[in-house]
Amino acid sequence: MQIVSTEMKGNRYEPITVQAGILVRWTVNADADELNGCNNPVTIPKYGIQKQLSPGENTIEFTPEEPGNVVYTCWMGMIRGTIRVVEDLGNVDSGDIPVEPAEAPFSGGGCCG
């Protein structure tokens, strides 16, 4: 199992990098002041996951099967982050790990734009 932890931010999601084929236990630490109607719930469409976050620690589990970038979003799809799935975490150096969330074109109005 791989254990990943991120902090919830009010208007963006942090990127994570994980290894394909291994269960991910992702803890999202959410401060009550950072949760709002725009960033909650979090969805990972590729894995069919929607998670309503509460203040404190929130756990999301999934097993990425293939390398590539997986987008996770707010319920409206306007706030986005990236889950980078790699073949082998041992072959990834820190320069290869994204430090900013995925760029996403906005597709209209909403509370997050």
Cα–Cα distances (Å) from 39 to 23, 42, 95, in that order, read: 25, 7, 28
Average pLDDT over residues 16-34: 96
Please report the pLDDT score of residue 91 as a whole number. Answer: 85
pLDDT, tens digit, 9 for 90 and up, residues 64-113: 999 999 999 999 999 999 999 999 998 876 555 554 444 444 444 455 54
On the question of pLDDT at 58 being above 70, the answer is yes
Counting residues of the chain whose pLDDT is more than 90, the rounded percentage is 73
Please report the pLDDT score of residue 111 as a whole number. Answer: 55
On the question of pLDDT at 56 being above 80, the answer is yes
Class of domain 2-96: mainly beta
Q: Are 55 and 31 in contact (CB under 8 A)?
A: yes
Q: Are 6 and 26 in contact (CB under 8 A)?
A: yes
On the question of pLDDT at 50 being above 60, the answer is yes
Q: Are 18 and 84 in contact (CB under 8 A)?
A: yes
